[in-house]
Amino acid sequence: MVDLHGQYLRIKEEINAAIQKVIDSSAFIKGGDVRLFQEELSAYMGVAHTIACGNGTDALQVAMMALDLQPGDEVITTPYTFIATIEVIRLLRLKPVLVDVEPGTFNMDPEKLEDVYTERTRAIVPVHLFGQCANMEAIMAFAGKYGLFVIEDSAQALGALYTYSDGTQQRAGTIGHMGITSFFPSKNLGAFGDGGALFTRNDHFGRRLASLVNHGMQKRYFYDHVGVNSRLDTLQAAILRVKLKHLDEYHLARQRTADWYDDALSGMAEVQTPVRSAFSTHIFHQYTIQLPAEIRDDLKRWLQEKGIPSMIYYPLPLHLQGAYLDLGYRAGDFPVSEKLCKKVLSLPMHTEMEKEQADHISGAIQSFFNS
């Protein structure tokens, strides 16, 4: 599915030198690279504050902690995302309230927000799934109308550009009150281990988040809020500084691969290629096609027999997961998400893909339909 080793080999000297420098300094925690990485990522994102932390899940939790919500307060997100998004809401004793996604983009359907709004609604967590922004203009307008906070889960869309109807552009993760991302190795900007970050334009949240990831410390050994210990270590920061310089080039390589797939697959009647929204660039964290549910698993097996990996993101929507059944949702409550789980298939997608590989994969899909 990915080729992290191939990506490493192309920048091996630079990466190895950066790692060696950290080892020589012995500043493994809070070394200079952490501060520099935060500054460089802020510049790339066009945002005032970037706060590095241990992973994307921590980032979501800390963002939610900064809102000072009360147990039972409601946070709206979708059932078609990675588990982390809903998990942290539950851990903080808040109530996840779900809205279905759009069938084409896999992202939150803003039209459904009004249906679930209550007096207890406090925040919305849109997820920019597979590398493309949710309809942020509509979501922000809804949030503004009711005074809600918006935390963008940008773990899969770091660097995607959102275009407002007036033509202004902003990076995914910098539009809401706070945004988060993940540097999990297979994400578009991947570390050599775990890592994550929070973004905000707001100075109050900027200070609060920096304190929360550091045990809630204000001044040295004085604590005004309960926090967590969540750090990006210096080695990861040094590696990410090198890779950040290549991020736009990585996006281009993924987009080129997506174009190859689109060209080869769009002629196949049974295959729906990814929808590209007019208001967002797509950085193709995943290239996810939709197939008739009856043949999806057969095609997956067919590809597997030919040595071609593929993945199902995600096989079961969150409202039907065992750990979350007590939310009281039932099969049929989110028909779009439920259907997508039976129809989706993500194809190999990474920065090192060559045209011959993409053609080989598309050819294998064609041969399935010819067989």
Ligand X SMILES: *Cc1c(COP(=O)(O)O)cnc(C)c1O
| Distant-in-sequence, close-in-space partners of 119: CB < 8 Å, separation ≥ 6 | none
Task: In angstroms, give the least distance from the CB of 128 to ligand X.
Answer: 8
CB-count exposure of residue 8 (10 Å: 0-12, 13-18, 19+):
middle
Task: In angstroms, give the least distance from the CB of 184 to ligand X.
Answer: 4
Task: In angstroms, give the least distance from the CB of 244 to ligand X.
Answer: 16
- Measured distance CA(13)–CA(300) in Å, rounded: 38
- Measured distance CA(250)–CA(59) in Å, rounded: 24
Q: Which is nearer to ligand X, 211 or 286 (CB)?
A: 286
Task: In angstroms, give the least distance from the CB of 278 to ligand X.
Answer: 23
Count of Cβ atoms closer than 10 Å to residue 170 Cβ: 17
DSSP 69: P
Q: Which is nearer to ligand X, 82 or 334 (CB)?
A: 82
User: Torsion angle, CA of 39/40/46/51, rounded to 10 degrees?
Assistant: -50
Task: In angstroms, give the least distance from the CB of 216 to ligand X.
Answer: 21
Q: Which is nearer to ligand X, 236 or 362 (CB)?
A: 236
Q: Which residue has the tokens 């001044």?
A: 219
Residues, the chain: 371
CB 111 within 8 A of CB 124: no
Q: Which is nearer to ligand X, 127 or 336 (CB)?
A: 127
Q: Which is nearer to ligand X, 94 or 264 (CB)?
A: 94
CA distances from 66 to 150, 182, 228, 293 (A): 12, 18, 12, 41
CB-count exposure of residue 89 (10 Å: 0-12, 13-18, 19+):
buried
Q: Which is nearer to ligand X, 131 or 227 (CB)?
A: 131
Task: In angstroms, give the least distance from the CB of 222 to ligand X.
Answer: 29
Q: Which is nearer to ligand X, 156 or 200 (CB)?
A: 156
Task: In angstroms, give the least distance from the CB of 98 to ligand X.
Answer: 15
Task: In angstroms, give the least distance from the CB of 158 to ligand X.
Answer: 11
Q: Which is nearer to ligand X, 187 or 208 (CB)?
A: 187
- Measured distance CA(41)–CA(217) in Å, rounded: 24
Binding site for ligand X (CB under 6 A): 55-57, 81-82, 84-85, 127, 153, 155-156, 182, 184, 194, 196
CB 133 within 8 A of CB 162: yes
- Measured distance CA(242)–CA(11) in Å, rounded: 8
Judged by DSSP in three states, 330 sits in coil
| Distant-in-sequence, close-in-space partners of 243: CB < 8 Å, separation ≥ 6 | 11, 15, 189, 190, 250
Q: Which is nearer to ligand X, 182 or 257 (CB)?
A: 182
Task: In angstroms, give the least distance from the CB of 54 to ligand X.
Answer: 8
Angle between helices 12-25 and 32-45 (to 10 degrees): 140
CB 187 within 8 A of CB 84: no
For residue 362, give the amino acid letter.
S
Q: Which is nearer to ligand X, 33 or 58 (CB)?
A: 58
Closest residue to ligand X, judged by C-beta, is: 56
Task: In angstroms, give the least distance from the CB of 314 to ligand X.
Answer: 10
Q: Cis ω on the peptide bond leading into residue 8 (within 30° of 0)?
A: no
